[in-house]
A and B are shown apart, each in its own frame.
Chain A
Amino acid sequence: MQLFGVLIPEKEQLIATATDVVKGRAGLSLYASLFGLAIGLYAIAAIFILGHGHTTNTSNLVPWGLQISTYVYFALLSTGCTFVNFFGHVFFEKQYKPFASRIIFVGIVTAVAAFFSLATEMGHVERMYYYLLSPNPKSPMFWMAIWYTTYLIVIIWEYINIQTNRHSKRVMWGAFFVAVFTHSTLGSLLGSVSSRVYYYSALMPIYFLFIAFLTGCSLTTIIAAMTVKQKKLDESYHLHPFVTLLKIGLGLALLITFWRTMIGLSAHLEGSEVFSLTLINNVLFGIVVVIIIPYILLKIGKSANWLIFVGLFIMITQLKARNDLVIGAFKVPLFRVYDMPEVVHYSPSIYEYLIVVASASLVTVLYTVFERSGIFEDRYIKEDQ
């Protein structure tokens, strides 16, 4: 199968980009992302060289912090892309086509970016091979790994099919279902933790899928909008599906967030007070800012630029929302002794923030490089026929 020019840019294209970068002709966004990637990689290196003790702010009270939530966030983005790809193909064939390869490609790189974060969170990532030597089928985290690998394979396959214009419905459906399984497993990873009321909930898997869908929609909307602008396509025609999907996404998010909170509030288990503790934030931020406002924004305008803004708005607020979800479970110490605070406050270290930058930059760098190489243009597909 032809690799260069179809799956990844032509060698010349890559060299051209490289020289542009050197010559200072690459354009602000690429420089910005490259810079982000550089400091991100520095942070990753620092964590490995200095150790968590000196770089991260997670602790016994807050064992999981921004690195885990970043992992979750990007994993969900990836799923979202797969979903959009699916619904796009199924319901909006024509309008969607121009974006298909871009979106599924982003689906892949976000999935990879997620690992940046996960790897740096582990105490001994160098021992990951024990997943194979001594797997524990009881552990959602084990299944997480299995599904995740499968998921990556399938969406790469889907990408290949799209790029080589041999798009197969079967693979597309496959990708969709694997995505559903993978990320509901991720949900169950938290949802099955009976000791942490804030996680423990049958809703969690579905919650993850809905949120995945929403974040995916926002990211893909941005991609679509940028593409539309750049290729001077008919905005209202091509972007309409995304607005629809976004609205559905917001609706689903509202539904699930609302019920998660309500059920939590009615619980009377040890540590349930965290729901009342976080209520204000969950309502003001988790519902109003994250869902209602974007919805209003969508009502205000439909132009490509505006949609890019709305997309970014959702993506950024979602990142905080994911972090709130992950660390919410640790607000109330399980066993409060000595100088422990009554309510635990955790703020990520600079290194932890840089991990987010690293993952994000990886996505933007790869996307920009691929994008400017024109690999996503349909002409390839034509030639192939």
Chain B
Amino acid sequence: MVSPKFSRRTFLKASGAVTAGVAAAAAMPEKFLSWAEEAGQKDMKQIPTFCELCFWNCGLIAKVENNKVVKVDGNPLSLRGRGRLCGRGNAALGALYDPDRLKSPLINTGKRGEPVWKQASWDEALSLIALKMKGIKEKHGPESMALIYHGTGAAFWKHLLHAYGSTLAAAPSFAQCRGPRDIGFVLTFGSDVGSPEYYDFSKSRYIVLLGSHLGENAHNSQVQDIVKGYSGGAKLTVVDPRLSNIASKADRWLPIKPATDLALLLAWIRIVIEEELYDKEYVEKYATGLAELRSAVQQYTPEWAEAETSIASDVIVKVARELGEFAPNVCIGAGRYSTWYGDDTQRSRAIAILNALLGTWGREGGYFFPTGATVPEYPGLPAYPEHVEVAKLDEAYPFALLQTTTSIKQATISGQPRPVKAWFVYGSNLMKTMPDKQETIKAIQNLDLMVAIDTMPMDIINYADVVLPECTYLERYDNINVGKFKGEAEIALRQPTIEPLWESKPSWWITKELGNKLGLTEYFPWKDGEEYVARRCEAGEIDFAQLKRDGVIIKKGGAPYITAENQPEFATPSGKIELYSKQLAEKGFDPVPKYTRHPTPPAGHFRLLFGRAPLHTFSRTSNNFMLTDLQKENCLWVNAKKGKELGLKNGEYVSLVNQAGVIASGRIKVKLTERLRDDAIYMNHGFGVHAKGMSRANGQGIADDDLITKPAIDPLMGGTAMRGNFVKIVKGA
């Protein structure tokens, strides 16, 4: 993700990407060839593809016997998985063979929110959509159609959107997830930290995590790397109000008071500067603004930080000194999910600054420079229609380098600065994904057209006029996936392992058909998914046959670390690492992060915290029978001592209400634990699905998203802060 403000070239250089003259890696190693035939399964086909149960997209190999996928295994060539699948990825068959899947297009003949479904043929459903789209284009212009997307198949929908004449596309993975982190780093280094992230954990000698509950956050290769790191001797400090899985492995667990991380970071920055623990040469050479930074952080003494964070000042100092001792082979992780409290971009800035001071950017064990690769677009596509200038929705957020869902929602409700009349929601269960459910509903009620493209009858489809059933990732060709890694890049293919079940169809097909009905046929020249992928490979001199056989092709090359020959470039206005950010000052923001205290829970309330369950991906897997067999509901983590005071018993069901009086529907099981502070409660996100069609998930546990209202918005980039709510536990549910 990179700002249009920076030229693509410099960015690629900055992130160490190489595009030409690199050798493909060896084919499937001998050790996995035995997969080819197994006991009693001689006629079993091995089809490589990649996982979509989360967005890490690990390579997998599907074992197919008489047209059924019977097993999945990791693809050893995949850099994202390295032959391993996580707890969810191994449950592929629970997604593929879920009897609750969307089976045919549905047309809502009732109201949005109270749907009455009519099964429809693809032709009927797509004709209806096309008709409405034409009307909207005439009345409000193409830009009034928005796409909200998440997942690999979205590429085809963006293509359709652009061909139709709109550029209004947003992913919740920006304004509800990684946005603040990425912007904080772009403002500092001129580059984000990528996805998969450029953390060099496996080589670190000292690792600091703030949040980042790896192990529960099961992002495959990253989990492998951090385990390799700490078990290989790296010191590990984890800052988390909760003893996360990774915190339990740490040399130091700092159970910080929620919402005070910035104070801790600023205190660390101060110590690192005052005690001259920073990498003078590096800072001298690559960074600007040390003086301004130094003076700005004077106020943040360890003692002050102790008062804010509840972490003993001597521990704060110790960690800072250890950082200095092990620098530059230190990685202060920037995490991933970062829309926490509204000042998140500044927190991310502080993390970036601390890393910069310690010279970890482009250093072994810190942040490596990734190797990139590119696959050209389908050759000979006509140019998209001339883009008519329209009011930018994100004006309010000068550093929203990607379109935010936030402002699409606001514009849809207010019609300001311009109307948004149609939503296509691809692979996003928006009802749970965006905070302020009622606002989301209000927006949707303002639409002329609401289309959901999904695999499951999730919450979101209840608000759609038309529901289009996509086949799962195991049944389709899809966009080619490129991943940047250390010294190598991977090009990965998704290919069908069996025919789509029921009436479900892949995105390449749906968009092509819809394109035809919209008179956009020329934009969809491909015969089918395979031809689409093959032609792109051909154009990029990528051996498609090999890609089909191995699933991934590895491109090696590119130096991960700073050397005399491999000097970094920083795509910032100054071309240097910006400890002090002039562009922030110009836009009226703090050029150096400033700490402002966040409100604390009123009496009888707890701060609502949430995170990942190792065996689930948001609501995405909430109905996956292999996973519900292990965890079907979330539970409410309550500090054991506090819980006993409140007379709570393990396993009893309670209900929850937030500070604004919003009651979460359903009930949740109490888990008394020693792993959590007593001023917060914690739950897994993704549960508390409210969708009848989801027979296993419907009404299981409570949805954190039910309780997240009136979120603070990050003024820099429009991220929605989702940990600002306080909830009360109501006994007897």
- Residues in A lying within 8 Å of B, measured CB to CB: 338-339, 341-342
A338-B631, A342-B651 are known; give 7 further A-B pairs, CB within 8 A: A338-B630, A339-B630, A339-B631, A339-B632, A339-B633, A341-B651, A342-B650
User: How far is A341 from B669 in the complex, measured between Cα atoms in Å?
Assistant: 12
Query: Which B residues touch A341, using CB under 8 A?
Result: 651
Query: Which A residues touch B650, using CB under 8 A?
Result: 342
User: How far is A342 from B650 in the complex, measured between Cα atoms in Å?
Assistant: 10
Query: Which B residues touch A339, using CB under 8 A?
Result: 630-633
User: How far is A150 from B651 in the complex, measured between Cα atoms in Å?
Assistant: 51
* CB-nearest residue of chain A to B632: A339
Closest 7 pairs between A and B when the two form their complex, measured CB to CB: A338-B630, A338-B631, A339-B632, A339-B631, A342-B651, A342-B650, A339-B633
Question: Shortest distance in angstroms between A140's beta carbon and chain B's nearest beta carbon?
Answer: 34
User: How far is A355 from B650 in the complex, measured between Cα atoms in Å?
Assistant: 37
* CB-nearest residue of chain A to B628: A339
Query: Which B residues touch A342, using CB under 8 A?
Result: 650-651
Question: Shortest distance in angstroms between A210's beta carbon and chain B's nearest beta carbon?
Answer: 39
Query: Which A residues touch B630, using CB under 8 A?
Result: 338-339
Question: Shortest distance in angstroms between A344's beta carbon and chain B's nearest beta carbon?
Answer: 13
9 intermolecular pairs with C-beta atoms under 8 Å apart: A338-B630, A338-B631, A339-B630, A339-B631, A339-B632, A339-B633, A341-B651, A342-B650, A342-B651
User: How far is A354 from B26 in the complex, measured between Cα atoms in Å?
Assistant: 65
User: How far is A342 from B633 in the complex, measured between Cα atoms in Å?
Assistant: 17
In the complex, per-residue mask of B619-636: 1 if CB is within 8 Å of any chain A CB, else 0: 000000000001111000
Query: Which A residues touch B651, using CB under 8 A?
Result: 341-342
User: How far is A232 from B607 in the complex, measured between Cα atoms in Å?
Assistant: 82
> Chain B interface residue count: which class?
under 10
Query: Which A residues touch B631, using CB under 8 A?
Result: 338-339
User: How far is A338 from B650 in the complex, measured between Cα atoms in Å?
Assistant: 14
* CB-nearest residue of chain A to B650: A342
Most-contacted residue by chain B among A338, A339, A341, A342 (CB, 10 A):
A339
B646-700 at interface with A (beta carbon < 8 Å):
650-651
Q: Which secondary structure dominates where chain B touches chain A? A: loop
User: How far is A23 from B130 in the complex, measured between Cα atoms in Å?
Assistant: 78
Question: Shortest distance in angstroms between A265's beta carbon and chain B's nearest beta carbon?
Answer: 25
User: How far is A342 from B631 in the complex, measured between Cα atoms in Å?
Assistant: 16
User: How far is A11 from B515 in the complex, measured between Cα atoms in Å?
Assistant: 87
Query: Which B residues touch A338, using CB under 8 A?
Result: 630-631
User: How far is A341 from B651 in the complex, measured between Cα atoms in Å?
Assistant: 9
User: How far is A342 from B651 in the complex, measured between Cα atoms in Å?
Assistant: 9
- Residues in B lying within 8 Å of A, measured CB to CB: 630-633, 650-651
Query: Which A residues touch B633, using CB under 8 A?
Result: 339
Question: Shortest distance in angstroms between B360's beta carbon and chain A's nearest beta carbon?
Answer: 39
* CB-nearest residue of chain A to B629: A338
Question: Shortest distance in angstroms between B485's beta carbon and chain A's nearest beta carbon?
Answer: 34
User: How far is A342 from B652 in the complex, measured between Cα atoms in Å?
Assistant: 12
Question: Shortest distance in angstroms between B637's beta carbon and chain A's nearest beta carbon?
Answer: 15
User: How far is A339 from B633 in the complex, measured between Cα atoms in Å?
Assistant: 9
Question: Shortest distance in angstroms between A130's beta carbon and chain B's nearest beta carbon?
Answer: 23
User: How far is A320 from B82 in the complex, measured between Cα atoms in Å?
Assistant: 56
Question: Shortest distance in angstroms between B626's beta carbon and chain A's nearest beta carbon?
Answer: 13
User: How far is A82 from B650 in the complex, measured between Cα atoms in Å?
Assistant: 51
Question: Shortest distance in angstroms between B359's beta carbon and chain A's nearest beta carbon?
Answer: 45
Question: Shortest distance in angstroms between A13's beta carbon and chain B's nearest beta carbon?
Answer: 58
User: How far is A82 from B651 in the complex, measured between Cα atoms in Å?
Assistant: 50
* CB-nearest residue of chain A to B615: A338
Question: Shortest distance in angstroms between B187's beta carbon and chain A's nearest beta carbon?
Answer: 44
Query: Which A residues touch B632, using CB under 8 A?
Result: 339
* CB-nearest residue of chain B to A341: B651
User: How far is A339 from B651 in the complex, measured between Cα atoms in Å?
Assistant: 10
User: How far is A339 from B613 in the complex, measured between Cα atoms in Å?
Assistant: 14
User: How far is A339 from B701 in the complex, measured between Cα atoms in Å?
Assistant: 13
Question: Shortest distance in angstroms between B98's beta carbon and chain A's nearest beta carbon?
Answer: 20
User: How far is A339 from B650 in the complex, measured between Cα atoms in Å?
Assistant: 12
User: How far is A194 from B446 in the complex, measured between Cα atoms in Å?
Assistant: 68
Question: Shortest distance in angstroms between A34's beta carbon and chain B's nearest beta carbon?
Answer: 43
User: How far is A341 from B633 in the complex, measured between Cα atoms in Å?
Assistant: 14
Question: Shortest distance in angstroms between B684's beta carbon and chain A's nearest beta carbon?
Answer: 13
* CB-nearest residue of chain A to B630: A338
Question: Shortest distance in angstroms between B651's beta carbon and chain A's nearest beta carbon?
Answer: 7
Question: Shortest distance in angstroms between B636's beta carbon and chain A's nearest beta carbon?
Answer: 15
User: How far is A288 from B651 in the complex, measured between Cα atoms in Å?
Assistant: 33
Question: Shortest distance in angstroms between B627's beta carbon and chain A's nearest beta carbon?
Answer: 11
User: How far is A341 from B632 in the complex, measured between Cα atoms in Å?
Assistant: 14
Question: Shortest distance in angstroms between B700's beta carbon and chain A's nearest beta carbon?
Answer: 11
* CB-nearest residue of chain A to B631: A338
Question: Shortest distance in angstroms between A276's beta carbon and chain B's nearest beta carbon?
Answer: 18
User: How far is A208 from B651 in the complex, measured between Cα atoms in Å?
Assistant: 38
User: How far is A195 from B75 in the complex, measured between Cα atoms in Å?
Assistant: 41
User: How far is A338 from B613 in the complex, measured between Cα atoms in Å?
Assistant: 12
* CB-nearest residue of chain A to B633: A339
Question: Shortest distance in angstroms between B638's beta carbon and chain A's nearest beta carbon?
Answer: 17
* CB-nearest residue of chain B to A337: B630
User: How far is A341 from B631 in the complex, measured between Cα atoms in Å?
Assistant: 13
* CB-nearest residue of chain B to A338: B630
Question: Shortest distance in angstroms between B447's beta carbon and chain A's nearest beta carbon?
Answer: 40
User: How far is A339 from B631 in the complex, measured between Cα atoms in Å?
Assistant: 7
Question: Shortest distance in angstroms between A273's beta carbon and chain B's nearest beta carbon?
Answer: 15
Question: Shortest distance in angstroms between A304's beta carbon and chain B's nearest beta carbon?
Answer: 52
User: How far is A310 from B645 in the complex, measured between Cα atoms in Å?
Assistant: 51
Question: Shortest distance in angstroms between A342's beta carbon and chain B's nearest beta carbon?
Answer: 7
User: How far is A341 from B650 in the complex, measured between Cα atoms in Å?
Assistant: 11
User: How far is A258 from B632 in the complex, measured between Cα atoms in Å?
Assistant: 43
Question: Shortest distance in angstroms between A337's beta carbon and chain B's nearest beta carbon?
Answer: 8
User: How far is A215 from B630 in the complex, measured between Cα atoms in Å?
Assistant: 43
Question: Shortest distance in angstroms between A143's beta carbon and chain B's nearest beta carbon?
Answer: 36
User: How far is A341 from B652 in the complex, measured between Cα atoms in Å?
Assistant: 12
Question: Shortest distance in angstroms between B23's beta carbon and chain A's nearest beta carbon?
Answer: 46
Question: Shortest distance in angstroms between B524's beta carbon and chain A's nearest beta carbon?
Answer: 47
User: How far is A339 from B634 in the complex, measured between Cα atoms in Å?
Assistant: 10
User: How far is A338 from B633 in the complex, measured between Cα atoms in Å?
Assistant: 11
Question: Shortest distance in angstroms between B563's beta carbon and chain A's nearest beta carbon?
Answer: 49
Question: Shortest distance in angstroms between A269's beta carbon and chain B's nearest beta carbon?
Answer: 24
Question: Shortest distance in angstroms between A370's beta carbon and chain B's nearest beta carbon?
Answer: 52
Question: Shortest distance in angstroms between B374's beta carbon and chain A's nearest beta carbon?
Answer: 44
User: How far is A87 from B25 in the complex, measured between Cα atoms in Å?
Assistant: 87
User: How far is A339 from B615 in the complex, measured between Cα atoms in Å?
Assistant: 13
User: How far is A338 from B626 in the complex, measured between Cα atoms in Å?
Assistant: 13
User: How far is A93 from B650 in the complex, measured between Cα atoms in Å?
Assistant: 62
Question: Shortest distance in angstroms between A343's beta carbon and chain B's nearest beta carbon?
Answer: 10
User: How far is A338 from B630 in the complex, measured between Cα atoms in Å?
Assistant: 6
Question: Shortest distance in angstroms between A339's beta carbon and chain B's nearest beta carbon?
Answer: 7
Question: Shortest distance in angstroms between B713's beta carbon and chain A's nearest beta carbon?
Answer: 38
Question: Shortest distance in angstroms between B496's beta carbon and chain A's nearest beta carbon?
Answer: 33
Question: Shortest distance in angstroms between A258's beta carbon and chain B's nearest beta carbon?
Answer: 33
Question: Shortest distance in angstroms between A272's beta carbon and chain B's nearest beta carbon?
Answer: 21
User: How far is A342 from B632 in the complex, measured between Cα atoms in Å?
Assistant: 17
User: How far is A35 from B260 in the complex, measured between Cα atoms in Å?
Assistant: 74
* CB-nearest residue of chain A to B651: A342
Question: Shortest distance in angstroms between A287's beta carbon and chain B's nearest beta carbon?
Answer: 30
Question: Shortest distance in angstroms between B613's beta carbon and chain A's nearest beta carbon?
Answer: 11
User: How far is A338 from B87 in the complex, measured between Cα atoms in Å?
Assistant: 14
User: How far is A18 from B417 in the complex, measured between Cα atoms in Å?
Assistant: 93
User: How far is A137 from B277 in the complex, measured between Cα atoms in Å?
Assistant: 74
Question: Shortest distance in angstroms between B715's beta carbon and chain A's nearest beta carbon?
Answer: 43
User: How far is A375 from B733 in the complex, measured between Cα atoms in Å?
Assistant: 64
User: How far is A338 from B671 in the complex, measured between Cα atoms in Å?
Assistant: 12
Question: Shortest distance in angstroms between A345's beta carbon and chain B's nearest beta carbon?
Answer: 13
Question: Shortest distance in angstroms between B710's beta carbon and chain A's nearest beta carbon?
Answer: 34
User: How far is A338 from B628 in the complex, measured between Cα atoms in Å?
Assistant: 10
Question: Shortest distance in angstroms between B687's beta carbon and chain A's nearest beta carbon?
Answer: 13
